[in-house]
Chain A
Amino acid sequence: MRFLYPLFSIVGFIVLWAGAAYVIADPLLPGPVEVCSAILREIRTGALWHHLFVTLWRVLASFIMAMAIGIAIGLAMGRSHMINGLFDPWLVFFLNIPALVVIFLCYIWGGLTEAAAIIAVVINKVPNVAVMLREGTRSLNYELEEMGQSFRYTRLQTFQHIILPQLQPFIVAAGRSGLSLIWKIVLVVEFIGRSDGVGFQLHTYFQLFDVAGIFAYSLAFIAVMLLIEILIVQPWERYATRWRAEPA
């Protein structure tokens, strides 16, 4: 019964939406049928797949880079007072700099290139990952490291078996919020300075006032991110946390 509630909620919304679109009868509020036909049209021309794929590639590339750099910085800051002191002002600076400013500067200095686009996204995300991983690193269990030390674990063993499993919830949290933040920033980056991708398409349909097209691309990309969450993130998380005691 419990799993039916979200279903009711979604079906109810679609019915309301269809009703409102029918009553207003204006192309600026297309109904579900119009949006579906817009999606089908984009699929038939092949445009949807092309732009989805381009955007997804940018999301994944910048996600992987931002996570790797953010984890490394966060770990170092959590472990060393000196590194924390050196990086902390810049962390606050980059956390608060508007995403748009970073994007503009990257495009101005790097040209309207793929590299500039991805660097802009990475710079926007790294500080969040670093902050989360710093907190994770600070909460590491010292007793387990001491255990490893007494049994002469190598550095690699210590990292793999003692540190990484403790950071895993922080990495998952950073990854989750990272993915949702990054794809939104990627769209802005594409909107401003790329000639393909979902953001570029949204830009085009925005200029045409084609709301059905805007909905079509937004929904398609949300669906892709949902699939990634369900097929990759959740199963991995279940596997990685299987050692936790079941809640009583």
Chain B
Amino acid sequence: MQHVGVQSLLKVHIKNKTYLGANGAETQALKDAQLTLTENSFTVFFGPSGCGKSTLLRILAGLDTDYEGSVDWVRPPKVGMVFQEPRLLPWRTVQENILLSADPTFTDHEFRQLVDVVGLTDMLSHFPSELSLGLSRRVAIARAFASKPNLLLLDEPFVSLDAPTAARLRQLVRTLWVDNPITAVMVTHDMREAVELGEDVLLFTPRPGSIHERLKVLPTDRANEASIEAKRAEVKSLYPHLFEE
């Protein structure tokens, strides 16, 4: 929930971000993208592929520092990231994968609780090669929460999952986020995900990306299937360009 007067965690203003394409031509990925993230908010970057939303996420993660502009943190940054691919260490077990990235204050009790919630209790000694994509994503999500971040970044974390698995994982992220309030940013091109999880949905312009509009999602919008679908249809009728793939 977002409250008036809540502290902001970071202010971002990317004036210009370009990268060199394979053909040597410069592409402008972001132009004058501005946003403020408040503490314990859940923000969604929404837009078609190639609009720079993942680029902005990588800048927030500190993985890309080659841009013009500023990212000002109020507190020291501590990022937990869930990548599009799970990016687990194949040579470490599920338990080791989670604990290697865990915060030093992460207790054994918290670990038991976390793996119970994500449903990995029986899988701790397995290696990633023995897991399905859905289970690997669970490990990646658990790893991000175990790192006790003050900024949780999710880069299309439900992509290429079958619908029921994706729905269960969305529910899982929702549960974890409600239980451990942290500032979260998720990139998606799926309005259902955006409405189900986000409080603020930032609609991106086509490339060069900037933030076109801020859309508030109310609890009533995600109350049931019909309201989610209604919200999706409403956004789609207003901004058809966002749904072009």
The A contact surface, by secondary structure, is helix
Among A150, A153, A161, the residue within 8 A (CB) of B79 is A150
Chain B: how many interface residues by the 8 Å CB criterion?
A: 24
A242 and B153 alpha carbons, distance in the complex (Å) = 32
Give, as a whole number of angstroms, the nearest-CB distance from A90 to chain B: 32
Contacts A161-B89, A244-B129 given; does A147 touch B147 at CB 8 Å? no
Let me know if A243 is at the binding interface, CB within 8 A.
Answer: yes
Q: Does B15 contact A (CB under 8 A)?
A: no
CB distance from B217 to the nearest CB of A (A): 27
Q: B-facing mask of A72-91, CB < 8 A → 1, else 0?
A: 00000000000000000000
The segment from B38-46, B80-88, B116-124, B204-212 that touches chain A is B80-88
Question: A165 contacts B85, CB within 8 Å?
Answer: no
A243 to B147, CA, bound (A): 24
Check if B87 sits within 8 Å of A245, measured CB to CB.
no
The residue among A146, A162, A244 with the most chain B CB atoms within 10 A of its own CB is: A146
**Given A146-B63, A243-B127, A244-B129, A151:B80 Cβ within 8 A:** yes
- Measured between beta carbons, the chain B residues less than 8 angstroms from A162 are 89
For the complex formed, measure the closest distance between the CB of B102 and the CB atoms of chain A, giving whole angstroms: 9
Q: Are A150 and B91 in contact (CB under 8 A)?
A: no
Could you tell me which B residues sit within 8 Å of A by CB distance?
Answer: 61-63, 78-81, 83, 85, 87, 89-93, 100-101, 127-130, 143, 147, 153
- Residue contacts A-B, CB under 8 angstroms, 11 given: A143-B87, A144-B87, A149-B62, A150-B79, A150-B153, A152-B79, A165-B89, A165-B91, A243-B90, A243-B92, A244-B90
Measured CB to CB, the residues of A under 8 A from B are 143-144, 146-147, 149-153, 157, 161-162, 165, 242-245
